[in-house]
Structure 1
Amino acid sequence: MSQVYGLVPSEKVSRKSLQSENYAGGKLVAQDDLVLNRLKAHLGVFARAKESGVVSPDYTVLRPIGDISVKYCESLFKAPIYVGEFRRRTKGIVEGFWRLYTDDFYNVTALLPPREEQDQIVAYLRAQDAHIARFIKAKRELIKLLTEQKLRIIDHAVTRGLDPNVRLKPSGIEWLGEVPEHWEVKPLKRWVRINARTLSEKTDPDFEFRYVDIGSVKTGRLVKELEHIRFEAAPSRARRVLRRGDTIISTVRTYLRAIWYVDEDADDLIASTGFAVLTPGKGVEPEYLGYVIQSSSFVNRVTANSIGIAYPAIAETVLGRFLVALPSTVDEQQSIVAHIKSESTPLDDAITRAEEEIKLIREYRDRLIADVVTGQIDVRGWRPGPDDVASDEELAVLGDDETELREDELGDGGE
């Protein structure tokens, strides 16, 4: 079950490790049943079953009694007032293993208007979603365009430098071509240390850190506020220790191009083992390395050498063998960094504004749903207009930036 996409048939999950090999003990679910993930009820993880099947034994399957709209209940139970109530009633010591037991769920009082009004609420919210989805889609397309413009600036600077008259030489790298003749070409592992620091299994259980998973990162930036989590409740993949000056690149689902340069002083940043952490060595300007790893030529080689179709990945040893061309002096690297930052700052500012607008419209949507399903906004007199219609495909944009399911959204607790 996904917090964003609801119940997802196992054949649509790309990670085989997230697919059950044995359905013994599973619970039967019929179309239009309401399914609760008991481990994530305090996050509002409820979903309407769009088809019949079998779900995890750790889920609770709820079937409506009488004339009740499951779509209405799905929205109702995700409202902040209900999520807070479910959180209050969960039991368990560690958050990752909190459970909302069925009897405790049954003790929560539900607001149920007449069926006709329930259907009106569902129709109204879907109509509003149509407008919100179009807004988000337009902002995402703008972000994509701005990101492409920034990458063109980076690509030229890290492959040709700043002197238009510089003499070039063959790099010996088929995918890179010629580079300035005074630049040095070495395997990446000669420029950096890979995965230099790892969180020990003996770490204090109460150690709290900010967790960087694959879904947190897009090319060159973080795309969501990092989750604070204690070591005791952390997934087993939360092990890569980050420091200022590191660059991380995803080695799983490499088509996502999740790359980030760590530009803050912190001792509480831990990344998933789905990343390779590159710590620059002597003679390498850290931020310049970050731009090189973001460049189209490098990323394209990573994706071309990844193994697997549904869940492509690349080994750190293969990554380390990639030849990389760098200016021979740190001074030149720093000059290129200053140029890139100067040229791309207006683009970065525009991307930040667009992301903030998406965040605000999502907050508005959450508030709107809560107000409508709890009767704060009366929609009984509302009538749909011609622009209030959207297909399920169009509404999918209301999910995360990635159409791919994040590994931490699935299963019944995870690692």
Structure 2
Amino acid sequence: MMVASPYPNYRASGLPWVPRLPEGWQVLRNGRLFGQRVETGFPDLPILEVSLRTGVRVRDMDNLKRKQVMSQKEKYKRAAKGDIAYNMMRMWQGAVGPAPVDGLVSPAYVVVKPYDEANSSYYSYLFRTAAYMQEVSKFSRGIVADRNRLYWESFKQMPSLVPPRPEQDQIVAYLRAQDAHIARFIRAKRELIQLLTEQKLAIIDRAVTRGLDPNVRLKPSGIDWLGEVPEHWEVLPLRRILRVKSGDMIHASEETEEGFPIYGGNGPRGYTNKVNCHGPMLLIGRVGAKCGCIHRVEGNFWASEHALRVIPLRKFDLEFFEHLLRWVDFNRFAIRTAQPLINSTIVREQICAVPPVSEQVAIRKWITNECKPLDDAIARTEEEIKLIREYRDRLIADVVTGQVDVRGWQPGPEDVVDDALLSALGDENEDVTEEEDGDGED
């Protein structure tokens, strides 16, 4: 990796969010760099979606429910390969990027085609910097702040930095190479987390199915995959112990930048000023590839229709049941004829072996002590991922605004970019900017 150094000469930019620019860089309005593309009637093209961290990608259409939602593809807008697409309501969060292939985006998106002097990948990096996203908020319009949209008419008036085209290309090549290094780091850390998590699950598995006494008398559970369980434990369906109720739909206009957390199918996904749940409470993810995931939530929060709320019918230790439900792994029972999902019936009818409450507490405490070194190692690894992400954000901001000069950089043998590898830059519970599917059943 090269040693960072500034450009030799700078000039005042006239922009508050980047006070100085390298000599030779310009400031132009986006209307000088991009033209709007509004083309419909291409139903055979693949659907594209915009994620908040990794930009535009091809949507996986192998599940039926997505296809049902996309029944009027002829109304979707065409984005040619290299065009930039952005979500009008969420560009301020980074919902923008270049199309990797010719594809279709929602009619609510804006598609812009770059002119010759604009490298769409350079501008995707620029548009996703914190400083530029603040400018997006200033140029967005709406009745209330939470419903502001960045229309084409406003986008084309926004000023952007314009390095000479060869410098744009060099910046993109440099940042993609650095992204590849960072993606390898993140992938290795995630593999470590997966290994540590497997070690935790092995500890938990034995405790929640056999207890702590190695000499306890056992009895057949009557369930093949459960096997024998302690003789004094109850074997019963979960409906005898708890109720399961779906959360409530929340509109995008009710989401805020801070406030009470919103929990969806994969965990926290934003904030709102509204509350429909009071913790501590267990939630089960209802929809998506990771449906069945378990979250224990403290304090006040909003559970969306993509989460199932666990409501006790009798006393039990909440943290023990968090371990028990996670061990059950409801994802393996998911309905997969549509987008993977579980419903309340799947949860309620699940057979489990349940110890007395006092034993639940003892098992929970033992698990906590045994897993603490592993939990600490996982937390340290997650912090390392967070720090490398922060480093990446700072590096991108410095390079695309000309605070660091990369014109002399040349790729080395280690600077190999694999587009598949770059997907590791995204969050494992990554948010896409489409409305979540779901019918609020249960």
Q: TM-score, with normalisation over the residues of structure 1?
A: 0.85
Q: What's 1:248 paired with?
A: 283
Superposed CA offset, 1:185-240 (max 9, x none): 12101111222x96699xxx799531012232xxxxxxx6x622134xxxxxxx96
Whether contact under 8 Å (2:81, 2:99) holds in the other structure is yes
Counterparts of 2:216 and 2:75, CA distance in 1: 69
Shift of 1:85: 0.5
Q: Which runs of 5+ in 2 are unaligned?
A: 1-48
For 2:202, the equivalent position in structure 1 comes to 152
The two structures, once aligned, show a CA RMSD in angstroms of 2.7
Q: Is the 1:146–1:351 contact (alpha carbons within 8 Å) kept by the matching residues of 2? A: yes
2:265, 2:286 within 8 Å by CA — same for their partners in 1?
no
Residues 1:290 and 2:322 aligned together: yes
2:360 to 333, 337, 353: 333
Render the CA deviation track for 1:145-175: whole Å, top value 9, x for unaligned: 1111111111100111111001100012221
- 1:100-249 matched pairs, under 5 angstroms: 100-195=150-245, 209-216=260-267, 227-231=270-274, 241-244=277-280, 246-249=281-284
| Pick aligned residue for 2:383 from 353, 356, 360 | 356
Distance 1:163 1:373, change over 3 A: same
* Preserved contact between residue 50 and residue 86 of structure 2 (Cα < 8 Å): no
Tell me the number of residue pairs that the alignment of Structure 1 and Structure 2 aligns.
384
- The aligned residue for residue 234 of structure 1 is none
Judged with a 3 Å threshold, the aligned counterparts in structure 2 of structure 1 residues 141 and 332 are, in CA distance, closer, same or farther, namely: same
> 1:270 aligned to 281, 288, 302, which one?
302
Cα 1:121/1:398, change in 2 over 3 Å: same
Q: Distance in 2 between matches of 1:122 and 1:280?
A: 54
The answer on whether the counterparts of 1:18 and 1:410 sit within 8 Å (CA) in structure 2 is no
Q: Does 1:2 align with 2:2?
A: no
Tell me the distance in 2 between the aligned counterparts of 1:215 and 1:401: 9
Contact 1:372/1:378 (<8 A) preserved: yes
| Secondary structure of the corresponding residue to residue 54 of structure 1 | strand
2:55 match: secondary structure: coil
Q: Which residue pairs with 1:219 in the alignment? A: none
How big is the shift at 1:33? 1.4
Query: Unaligned 5+ residue runs, structure 1?
Result: 217-223, 232-238
SS of alignment partner, residue 111 of structure 2? strand
Structure 1, residues 358-405: CA drift from partner, whole Å, max 9, x if none?
Answer: 111111111111110000010011111111112101111111215xx7
| Cα distance between partner residues in 2 of 1:188 and 1:411 | 31
Counterpart among 303, 316, 323 of residue 351 in structure 2: 323
Say if 1:56 and 1:294 are closer, same or farther in 2 by CA, change over 3 A. Answer: closer
- C-alpha distance in structure 2 between counterparts of 1:28 and 1:152, whole Å: 49
Structure 2 CA distance for aligned equivalents of residues 90 and 108 of structure 1? 10
Which residue does 1:260 correspond to in 2? 295
Contact 1:169–1:179 under 8 Å retained in 2: yes
Query: Which residues in structure 2 correspond to 1:14-93 (within 5 Å)?
Result: 14=63, 15-16=65-66, 19-93=69-143
In the other structure, the counterpart of 1:236 is none
Task: Please identify which structure carries the higher helix content.
Answer: 1
Q: Secondary structure at the match of 2:352?
A: strand
3-state SS in 1 of match to 2:172: helix
Tell me the TM-score normalized by structure 2. 0.80
User: What amino acid is the match of 2:345?
Assistant: T
Q: CA 1:273–1:167 in 2, change beyond 3 Å: closer, same or farther?
A: same
Shift of 1:181: 0.4
Tell me if 1:390 matches 2:438.
no
Distance 1:254-1:169 versus aligned 2 partners, 3 A rule: farther
Please give the alpha-carbon distance, in whole angstroms, between the structure 1 residues aligned to 2:270 and 2:105. Answer: 27
Counterpart position of 2:404: 377
1:410 corresponding residue in structure 2? 434
